[in-house]
Structure 1
């Protein structure tokens, strides 16, 4: 990351009831501020809990912090340039999106407890309701969906 502050945007779409809350965080190309990414996710969920009345368990906040940390680490490690973390809540689920400039989808590995490291995607898959990857010529987006209640 550079010395400039990450750009944050938050918003609520009003359709008569607060059914969706969203935020994003732009990140430059190094992983020196992963703690900030985890705090951003926790703060987003805390705000959603207070402002929109979304039920979020402490264990879910901890799982989300691990998921965003793993996905952002992978994006910054394997793609040149910036990444974007997007969080949105809809219908009792949190959608975590991490976009980067590398169009190559991450390779799923066979679980191997003897392997040192490279378990990030396995952990994300174990913690999330679903994980998907969308690729394009300009990069990819990894999406993890987590049930909140």
Structure 2
């Protein structure tokens, strides 16, 4: 896994792009490294920018990263690119892979073993999109950085 720094070195801290990118080659440790990268990124956002980031946001981001990276490495040949960035009050988890086939959420089935990753991502994310690219596809999931005082995730009504 090759990680790219999250901001421009010559930019003032408040002008830095809140983003980090990693290229994953499927070496067997990529999924754990990607989860660690996500947690470290959100810790830096909290420490260096003073943005509020709930523990729930960290946990959900790690889960979403794990599910999306696992699927990309399992189903697409070649490299996978993970991009994490802050957009307002959400963290965007973007995963690109070389397979142009868009994922399809399957109907819930408690008896099915495995293949629940996309269902999980869609259940915990405030936004989800899958787009074909000139080469491959890009999956984007958005996760609220904070919970509201009532316990609901920001941007999503309580259930």
Q: Same fold (TM over 0.5)?
A: yes
Aligned mate of 1:75, from 72, 76, 101: 72
**How far 1:60 moved relative to its partner?**
1.2
Distance 1:123 1:73 in 2: 13
- After superposition, residues 1-149 of structure 1 pair within 5 angstroms as 5-11=1-7, 17=14, 20-149=17-146
CA separation in 2, counterparts of 1:120 and 1:68? 10
Aligned counterparts of 1:134 and 1:20: Cα–Cα separation in 2 = 23
Q: CA deviation at 1:16?
A: 9.5
User: Structure 1 residue runs of 4+, over 3 Å off?
Assistant: 12-20, 29-32
Deviation string, structure 1 residues 1-25 (Cα, Å, up to 9, x no partner): xxxx523231169699558511101
The alignment's C-alpha RMSD in Å is: 2.1
> Structure 2: 5+ residue runs without aligned partners?
147-159
Paired positions, count: 145
TM-score by length of 2: 0.84
Distance 1:112 1:119, change over 3 A: same
For residues 16-51 of structure 1, the C-alpha deviation after alignment (integer angstroms, 9 at most, x for no partner) is 955851110110135433111110000000000000
Q: Secondary structure at the match of 1:34?
A: helix
Scaled by the length of structure 1, what TM-score is found?
0.89
Q: Structure 1 residues 71, 65: closer, same or farther in 2, change over 3 A?
A: same
